[in-house]
Amino acid sequence: MQPPELDLPPINARNHNLTLFMLRRLESHLDVRIRLHDLTDQFDMGGGLIVANHFTRLETFVVPFVVHRATNITLRILASHVLFGNKTFGDYLMSIGALPTNHPNKYELIARDILQGGWWLIFPEGGLIKDRRVIEKGRLNVTTDAGQVRRRPRSGSAILAMTVQRYKAALRQALENNWETQTICESLGLGDRRPSELEALAFRPTPIIPLNITYYPLNPQDNALKSLATRLMPNLPHTSFGQELLEELTVEGSMLLKGVEIDMRFGSPLLVGDDDVQLVDDWRIVPWSASPWRRYLTALRSWRPMRPYTYLVDRWAVSSSWRQRQRAWQITRTTMQALYRLATIHIDHLLSAMLLQTLRTTKQRRFEILDLQKRLYLAAQRLKENGNLALHPNLTDPDLQYLLVTDTPHPFLEDFARRASELELLTCKDQIWEPNTDLLLEPWSFNSVRLKNFIQVYFNEVEPVTEVIQAVRYAMRADLKAHQTTFSDAMHNYEDELYEADHAEFVTPETIAKLTPLPPETGRPALLRGHGSHSAVGILLIHGFSASPGEVMPLAKSLNGQGFTVYVVRLRGHGTSPYDLQQRSWQDWYDSVQRGYAYLRTITDTQFVGGMSTGGGLALYLSMHEPTVQGVFAVAAPIKLANRAIHLAPLLKTVRGFVDSNPGNPNTNYLAFPVQALQELLHFITVYSKTLQNVAIPTLLIQARGDTTVRPDSAQYIYDELGTTKKELIWKDVDQHVIVSDAFPDVHDDILTFVQQHQPSR
């Protein structure tokens, strides 16, 4: 008796290497960013299976390519038989390691290859899941076959793993009993293995590694690939196959040509061992009552010429037994649940879930964007605290997280709205979203949902992830007023995190050896909470160029002593190391001021802004753009600098990187500053000096007549240019630049008087 042909066609090295080369070239020329996550030592376990979700045809090529690049392992794939319809293309796929799903001996071929150390990629969903819908009434169910069939995911991967374990059990039995070992090894393709290798293999479980593939963003549009296909084959739109092909070209062509992020996340392997494979004699060949089948199968397995091939009998038993199929489904369900939880949760997932869940369960039909942003923050924070899920950078990046709690429209929400508006899924006007309920809740056809309703696709993708649905439900039901402290704390913590990150990056042994950094006690931003009747009045204090919050801290304490809430902001690049300042622009400084003011608005009812030197200029500039500022004060704001050589900064930049400084207080100011930063200062002075006429609120200017850093006539220039009539210029007969320290209590009193005069009457 001869066993069937169980040898896989060898991988054609030339075709395989050519495919890898072409994919590398495509990746370098396309805006496709592939990120590989959590691939550690999973492939050190010998042969096994990778099971992945299936959303695009790209995965057939991309996953083996990425795995080979990361591990140098050639990954074979069980691919849809549809891809093998063309003989030439089918032969090519076979030559690079693919096998069609309708191959008659696929289980035996794959199981033997795994036993020999091979790795296989399998899509247990059984086809493209274009709608990403895998949950129905709380149970795993997928839609395949052009949307006509709802069924459970295929359990073929589990059956394969169990079959491999049965082969290992047969090998182990042969090794233990020392009979027909060589014959069995040859029948399993292990004839060249040493006894020690065989023994290790026989006792090794078979791993099933879940792999989740997440795409962001979905933005299907007409593209060159689709246009080329319709030009070459004009009849495509008139056939069902052609329509399906055009849909795939639209979706996947947009990904390739217009850009997409692909996150591939590997999970911990599910180990299928002997506990998952019962002996055939226990449940198949020995039934509850004697039968001719029992005698026949027992005799067949005991027949000496059949001993090398008893694994075929066992394979039949595995695939046909109800009990074993049930165990295979249990393994499949566990694997699929782990697979779906590996999704990289991004901002579109949460927004889609918020919209659809709200539309389905409430009567709400309008969504304020700023309100939605804050709810999005609550949901993202809940998921971060959970710690069990993988989050996309657009949910973890501190800069983007910060924007969610402010009154600034978030760029990712604007992009979401743009894509949804193009599909008429919602309208956006006056910072309000109005979803098109009919389109959003319409049961789109399987082949059109990716084109017409990406919101539904994204919601379906996270529906199996309980934590996401719970976080969204929590956020949408939350009382935002009760969470106001949460949002303000987030803004304050963001500045602290920025300081910690900048300090860690730029204050290192290497930089310390070259330039002295500032101590943390003067570099951090600081909040001094008010008390009494003045606590609702907030004052934003801004330090000067190359200084730190410590520079204006004496003034802050003086104002806070009178009950005012004072927030001392840190300009980006300051308070750490001159190397940090070298990387920043004046826009970075102004962004810091805007963030500080936004934070102050969340904790106070009335706001004043003011600063020292460059900080005074930034305060004036902010007051031009923030209509809620009650009043502004500037001490020694620069227009003209005393050292004329400073204006040569663009030339010095090419010669020197840093310029030595002799600050009055080295604990609050850098001992050297970068020429690049000096150029940014000059640029900022040019910008804000031209817009002073836009200052329309009460303004106080204070200037020392003997200032050796800023030319004193700068104050007169600013005073003359101010657009407000409520302005005052106070001169001080001193020869210092920084006049906000404890040595100048009269300056503190002048500012205090200004604030008291212009604060709203209660």
User: Using one digit for the tens of pLDDT, what is the confidence trace for 351-382?
Assistant: 999 999 999 999 999 999 999 999 999 999 99
- pLDDT for the residue numbered 521: 87
Q: What are phi and psi of 285, to 5 degrees?
A: -85, -20
How far apart, in whole angstroms, are the C-alpha atoms of residue 356 and residue 354?
A: 6
Confidence of residue 3 (pLDDT cuts 50, 70, 90): very low
pLDDT at 291 over 90: no
- pLDDT for the residue numbered 174: 82
Residue 351's H or E segment, with its range, is: helix 347-361
Please say whether the beta carbons of 318 and 170 come within 8 A.
no
Strands 606-612 and 537-542 come out as parallel
User: How large is the average pLDDT for residues 139-166?
Assistant: 77
User: How large is the average pLDDT for residues 682-709?
Assistant: 97
User: Domain ranges in the chain?
Assistant: 13-341, 346-478, 485-492+509-641+678-758
How far apart, in whole angstroms, are the C-alpha atoms of residue 211 and residue 521?
A: 47
- pLDDT for the residue numbered 282: 36
User: How large is the average pLDDT for residues 430-451?
Assistant: 90
Confidence of residue 289 (pLDDT cuts 50, 70, 90): very low
Strand partners, 264: 36, 213
Q: What is the mean pLDDT of the chain?
A: 89
- pLDDT for the residue numbered 126: 72
101-125 pLDDT, tens digit each: 999 889 889 999 999 999 999 999 8
pLDDT at 148 over 70: no
Give the dihedral of Cα atoms 547, 553, 554, 560; nearest 10 deg.
150
522-545 pLDDT, tens digit each: 999 999 999 999 999 999 999 999
Q: What does each C-alpha distance from 154 to 122, 128, 210, 366 come to in angstroms? A: 10, 13, 14, 41
**DSSP annotation of 279:** -
User: How large is the average pLDDT for residues 26-32?
Assistant: 90
Residue 707 tokens, joined: 């200032």
pLDDT at 5 over 60: no
- pLDDT for the residue numbered 301: 64
Quick one: what percent of the chain has pLDDT higher than 70? 90
- pLDDT for the residue numbered 141: 80
**DSSP annotation of 600:** H
Q: What does each C-alpha distance from 205 to 118, 169, 272, 276, 747 come to in angstroms? A: 14, 10, 6, 10, 78
Could you count the other beta carbons within 10 Å of the beta carbon of residue 434?
12
Q: Which of 70-74, 156-160, 610-614 has the lowest mean pLDDT?
A: 156-160
- CATH fold for domain 485-492+509-641+678-758: Rossmann fold (3.40.50)
**DSSP annotation of 303:** S
pLDDT at 9 over 90: no
Residue type, 656: R
Q: What does each C-alpha distance from 681 to 294, 532, 599, 614, 647 come to in angstroms? A: 92, 39, 25, 8, 10
**DSSP annotation of 647:** G
378-426 pLDDT, tens digit each: 999 999 999 999 999 999 998 899 999 998 889 999 999 999 999 999 9
How far apart, in whole angstroms, are the C-alpha atoms of residue 449 and residue 346?
A: 20
Does residue 153 or residue 397 have the better pLDDT? 397
Q: 129: left (phi > 0), else alpha (psi -120 to 50), else beta?
A: beta
Confidence of residue 294 (pLDDT cuts 50, 70, 90): low
Could you count the other beta carbons within 10 Å of the beta carbon of residue 516?
14
Could you count the other beta carbons within 10 Å of the beta carbon of residue 257?
16
pLDDT at 320 over 60: no
DSSP codes, 518-585: --HHHHS-EEE---GGGTTEEEEEE--TT--GGGGHHHHHHHHTTT-EEEEE--TT-SS-HHHHTT--
User: How large is the average pLDDT for residues 605-623?
Assistant: 98
- pLDDT for the residue numbered 17: 94
Give the dihedral of Cα atoms 501, 506, 509, 511; nearest 10 deg.
-170
Strand partners, 426: 435
Q: Tell me the whole-structure pTM to 2 decimals.
A: 0.84
Helices H / strands E in the chain, number of each: 33, 26
How far apart, in whole angstroms, are the C-alpha atoms of residue 63 and residue 67?
A: 6
232-278 pLDDT, tens digit each: 888 888 888 788 888 989 999 999 899 999 999 999 999 998 666 44
Q: What are phi and psi of 150, to 5 degrees?
A: -110, 125
Strand partners, 569: 542
163-204 pLDDT, tens digit each: 898 888 888 888 887 767 777 888 888 888 888 888 888 888
462-509 pLDDT, tens digit each: 999 999 999 999 999 999 999 999 999 999 999 999 999 999 999 999
- pLDDT for the residue numbered 721: 98
Residue 658's H or E segment, with its range, is: strand 658-660
pLDDT at 309 over 80: no
Q: Is 563 exposed, middle or buried (0-12, 13-18, 19+ CB in 10 A)?
A: middle
Does residue 551 or residue 643 have the better pLDDT? 551
Q: Which residues contact 753 (CB under 8 A, 6 or more apart)?
A: none
User: How large is the average pLDDT for residues 563-592?
Assistant: 97
How far apart, in whole angstroms, are the C-alpha atoms of residue 435 and residue 154?
A: 36
User: How large is the average pLDDT for residues 449-457?
Assistant: 93
Q: 289: left (phi > 0), else alpha (psi -120 to 50), else beta?
A: beta
